[in-house]
């Protein structure tokens, strides 16, 4: 379990997603429909990806960004951030990135140039999700850590904060009673769910000026995703579909006591897919979608398919129902 906990902290290398962005993305109305995004960043690998169903966005630890007309040949990488991106999302005309360099950028996906750049916090950005035409960004105005000499091992201890970023880059604070870092966000119609690493019951529900804690079957929460009007949450007992309006939940999958933690979740049509330290699975039933028994670097929805990025830089497009490999290519370095 120590290795699994370490893997969770390595999510901070990305765009979580968590994120995992990343935690997971919802939808923006009009021409900015964001894909669901999840990332499980490993130290020296391409760490983050997202898709609008045609173009794939790949970001790596150097802060480079690649717009890829999948599965054709990729274009040239551009410098997006001074450090690792934390979250990426791409729509038909626009893309959004959030970096460890404290900035959130909106890009013209066609011209591949930034439209604006803002710094929502004095400290790090830890998660991003989309709500209506806006982005919800988690971070902190303090950047206290456990003082580790290795950047990948640092643990951010500050209580998390939320900001809303509109289409022009305007920032608005969102009240949040958090105890620790916000690792992942899920956004729906008027509501926000956040994983609070400083709380015993780590799932926070926010709607307008109201907020509360949603009890977990067996905490802490390890992954979060949006599913139409509900949210998907993984904890130590299983995967749950939660109605964020009243906190009621129903079981999607149950876990054995020795099951590895779910580190990322995605909803693709009627399939619920995700990743653990042992590979990529579909639930309920924990059906293995890839013969590779290892933790992927990142997952993303691509139309009706699943994108999986592996540590060696190999990117696969899978059928989320049966794991059939539809396309595969090496991410250029």
- CA distances 276 to 78, 109, 281, 292, Å, are 31, 31, 8, 12
What are the backbone dihedrals phi and psi of residue 120, each rounded to the nearest 5 degrees, phi first? -70, -25
CB 136 within 8 A of CB 129: yes
Sheet of 279-283: strands edge to edge?
264-268, 271-276, 279-283, 287-288
Rounded CA separation 131/27 (Å): 7
DSSP strands (E only) in 147-288: 161-165, 171-174, 182-187, 192-196, 203-207, 210-214, 223-227, 230-234, 238-242, 249-254, 264-268, 271-276, 279-283, 287-288
Contacts from 227-233 at CB under 8 Å and sequence distance 24+?
227/267, 227/272, 228/267, 229/188, 229/189, 230/188, 231/186, 231/188, 231/193, 232/186, 232/265, 232/267, 232/272, 233/193, 233/203
Write the CB contacts of 226 (distance below 8 Å, at least 6 apart in sequence).
Answer: 24, 25, 26, 36, 129, 186, 187, 188, 232, 267
Which helix (H) or strand (E) segment is 304 a member of? none
3-state secondary structure of 112: coil
**What pLDDT, on the 0 to 100 scale, is given for residue 5?**
35
- Of 14, 3, 5, residue with least CA distance to 300: 14
Which helix (H) or strand (E) segment is 9 a member of? helix 2-9
Write the CB contacts of 42 (distance below 8 Å, at least 6 apart in sequence).
Answer: 10, 13, 295, 297, 311
Question: Per-block average pLDDT, block size 10, for the chain (333 residues)?
Answer: 36 32 31 37 54 87 87 84 78 81 86 89 83 83 54 58 90 88 85 84 85 82 84 92 83 91 90 94 94 93 94 93 95 79
Rounded CA separation 40/140 (Å): 21
What are the backbone dihedrals phi and psi of residue 14, each rounded to the nearest 5 degrees, phi first? -95, -130
Is 3.20.20 the CATH number for 2-222+287-330?
A: no
The residues facing 163 across adjacent strands are: 137, 173
Q: 51: which 2 tokens?
A: 């898709």
How do strand 125-131 and strand 113-118 relate by DSSP bridges?
unpaired
CA dihedral sign of residues 118, 54, 26, 15: negative
**What pLDDT, on the 0 to 100 scale, is given for residue 329?**
93
**What pLDDT, on the 0 to 100 scale, is given for residue 24?**
33
Report the predicted TM-score, pTM, of the whole model to 2 decimal places.
0.79
């Amino acid at each position: 379990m120590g290795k699994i906990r370490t893997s969770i902290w390595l999510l901070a290398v990305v765009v979580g997603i968590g994120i995992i962005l990343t935690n997971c993305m919802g939808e923006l109305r009009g021409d900015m429909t964001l894909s669901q995004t999840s990332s499980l960043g490993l130290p020296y690998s391409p760490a983050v990806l997202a898709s609008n169903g045609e173009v794939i966005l790949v970001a790596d630890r150097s802060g480079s960004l690649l717009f890829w007309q999948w599965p054709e040949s990729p274009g040239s990488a551009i410098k997006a951030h001074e450090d690792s991106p934390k979250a990426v999302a791409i729509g038909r005309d626009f893309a959004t990135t959030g970096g460890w360099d404290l900035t959130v950028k909106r890009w013209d996906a066609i011209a591949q140039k930034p439209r604006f750049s803002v710094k929502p916090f004095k400290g790090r950005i830890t998660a991003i999700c989309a709500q209506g035409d806006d982005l919800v960004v988690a971070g902190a105005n303090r950047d206290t850590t456990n003082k580790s000499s290795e950047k990948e091992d640092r643990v951010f201890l500050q209580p998390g904060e939320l900001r809303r970023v509109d289409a022009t880059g305007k920032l608005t604070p969102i009240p949040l009673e958090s105890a620790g870092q916000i690792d992942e966000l899920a956004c729906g119609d008027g509501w926000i769910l956040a994983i609070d690493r400083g709380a015993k019951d780590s799932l926070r529900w926010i709607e307008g000026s109201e907020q509360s804690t949603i009890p977990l079957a067996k905490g802490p929460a390890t992954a979060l995703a949006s599913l139409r009007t509900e949210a998907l949450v993984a904890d130590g007992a299983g995967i749950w579909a939660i109605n964020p309006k009243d906190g009621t939940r129903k079981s999607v999958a149950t876990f054995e006591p020795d099951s590895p933690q779910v580190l990322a979740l995605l909803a693709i049509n009627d399939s619920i897919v995700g990743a653990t330290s042992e590979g990529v699975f579909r639930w309920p039933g924990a059906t293995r979608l890839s013969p590779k028994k290892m933790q992927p670097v990142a997952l993303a929805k691509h139309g009706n398919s699943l994108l999986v990025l592996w540590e060696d830089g190999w990117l696969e497009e899978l059928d989320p129902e049966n794991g059939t490999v539809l396309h595969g290519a090496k991410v250029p370095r």
